[in-house]
C-alpha cells in the first residue's frame, strides 16, 4: 500500500487544520472563553496569527495538501486543536464524541465539512461513549492504541471496537493515570508520539508499564523526554515523514536526542497557539492521508 490513513509517521500527504482566524476569531472571543476552557492565560490574537502563519507555511513547504475547517459559531476556541474531533482510518473517518463538555459541537462541525468535501466516514461515537482523537494513535496498519482517560471512556472504546474489529483492526487499550485530574488536557499523545515504525517520543514517568512493554515487544525504541520538557510539550511531536519531526520550540534536550539518532527536527514558535491552550503540533492537525 502506497497511501494510507492508518499511520502516524509516513509522509504526510494531506491534513485538516483550523487556522487562528477561524478558531480564535478575535481578541474579544478569546477574552470571553480562555478562562472557562482552562487555558494557562489568554492568547494574544495578533501574535497567534503570526505563529500560525509560520506553522502553516511549514506544512506548505513540505507539499502537504491543506484542508481548512471554516469558522463555525457553534464551536469554541478549542476547535483549533482539530485532531480531537475525528479519527482517520482506511475505511473512512470516525466522528468522535468529546469528553470535554465545552467541545461537544466540534465533531458535528467537522462531519459537515467532511460530507461537503466528499471525505468518507465510517461511523460515529455516540453518547454516553466519548473518544477524543488525541487519545488515539496507530501503532501499525493493523493496530490502534487508545488511551482510557477522562476524555475517552469505556463506552467510547467499546463503540470504536465495534467499528474497527470487524475490519481486522486490533485495539490496544492504554490505561492512563489521573495525573492532574479531570480538567487537565491529558491524552495518550501527551506521552506518546510515534515518529517512525520503530521509534517514538515518550514520557515514561506517566506511561503504563503494560503499554511500554508492549511497544518494546513490537520493536520500538524511545526518545525519552526529560521532566523539565514535559509541560513545554517536548513529547508532542508531529511526524511530517519518518524521522522528520515538527515540535514546539523550547525543548532543546528532546530536540538534541532526536538529532543524535538521525532525525530531522523543525521547530515552530507556539507560545500562543500551543502552550497556552495545551495543544502541540499533533493537536493542531488532523492528518488525513499519509504514504510512502
Q: What is the DSSP string of 147-186?
A: EESSSS-HHHHHHHHHHHGGGTPEEEEEE---TT-TTS--
Rounded Cα distance, 292 and 278, in Å: 31
Q: pLDDT tens digits for the chain (292 residues)?
A: 468 899 999 999 999 999 999 999 999 999 999 999 999 999 999 999 999 999 999 999 999 999 999 999 999 999 999 999 999 999 999 999 999 999 999 999 999 999 999 999 999 999 999 999 999 999 999 999 999 999 999 999 999 999 999 999 999 999 999 987 777 778 999 999 999 999 999 999 999 999 999 999 999 999 999 999 999 999 999 999 999 999 999 999 999 999 999 999 999 999 999 999 999 999 999 999 999 8
- Residue boundaries of the structural domains of the chain: 3-291
Q: Count Cβ atoms within 10 A of the Cβ of residue 262 and give its class: 0-12 exposed, 13-18 middle, 19 or more buried.
A: exposed
- Predicted model pTM: 0.96
pLDDT computed for residue 2 by the predictor = 67
CATH no., domain 3-291: 3.75.10.10
Contact 45, 30 (CB under 8 A): yes
Q: Whole-angstrom Cα distance, residue 280 to residue 185?
A: 11
pLDDT of the residue at 1: 46
| Nearest one of 126, 121, 120, 187 to 155, comparing CA atoms | 126
pLDDT at 287: 97
Phi/psi of residue 53, each to 5°? -60, -40
Amino acid at each position: 500500500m502506497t497511501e494510507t490513513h492508518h499511520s502516524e509517521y509516513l509522509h504526510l500527504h494531506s491534513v485538516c487544520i483550523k487556522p487562528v482566524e477561524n478558531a480564535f476569531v478575535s481578541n474579544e472571543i478569546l477574552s470571553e472563553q480562555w478562562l472557562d476552557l482552562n487555558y494557562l492565560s489568554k492568547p494574544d490574537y495578533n501574535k497567534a496569527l503570526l505563529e500560525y502563519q509560520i506553522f502553516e507555511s511549514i506544512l506548505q513547504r513540505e507539499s502537504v495538501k491543506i484542508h481548512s475547517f471554516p469558522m463555525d459559531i457553534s464551536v469554541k476556541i478549542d476547535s483549533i486543536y482539530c485532531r480531537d474531533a475525528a479519527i482517520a482510518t482506511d475505511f473512512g473517518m470516525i466522528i468522535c464524541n468529546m469528553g470535554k463538555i465545552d467541545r461537544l459541537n466540534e465533531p458535528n462541525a467537522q462531519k459537515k465539512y467532511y460530507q461537503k468535501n466528499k471525505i468518507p466516514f465510517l461511523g460515529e461515537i455516540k453518547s454516553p461513549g466519548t473518544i477524543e482523537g488525541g487519545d488515539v494513535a496507530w501503532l501499525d496498519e493493523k493496530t490502534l492504541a487508545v488511551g482510557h482517560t477522562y476524555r475517552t471512556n469505556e463506552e467510547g472504546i467499546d463503540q470504536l471496537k465495534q467499528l474497527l474489529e470487524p475490519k481486522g483492526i486490533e485495539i490496544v487499550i492504554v490505561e492512563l493515570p489521573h495525573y492532574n485530574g479531570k480538567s487537565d488536557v491529558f491524552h495518550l499523545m501527551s506521552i506518546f508520539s510515534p515518529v517512525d515504525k520503530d521509534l517514538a517520543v515518550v514520557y515514561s514517568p506517566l506511561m503504563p508499564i503494560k503499554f511500554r512493554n508492549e511497544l518494546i515487544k513490537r520493536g520500538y525504541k524511545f526518545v525519552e523526554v526529560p521532566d523539565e520538557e514535559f509541560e513545554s510539550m517536548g513529547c508532542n511531536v508531529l511526524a511530517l515523514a519518518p524521522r522528520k519531526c515538527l515540535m514546539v520550540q523550547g525543548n532543546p534536550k528532546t530536540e538534541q536526542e532526536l538529532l543524535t539518532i538521525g532525525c530531522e527536527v523543525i521547530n515552530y514558535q507556539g507560545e500562543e497557539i500551543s502552550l497556552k491552550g495545551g495543544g502541540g503540533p499533533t493537536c493542531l492537525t488532523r492528518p488525513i492521508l499519509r504514504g510512502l
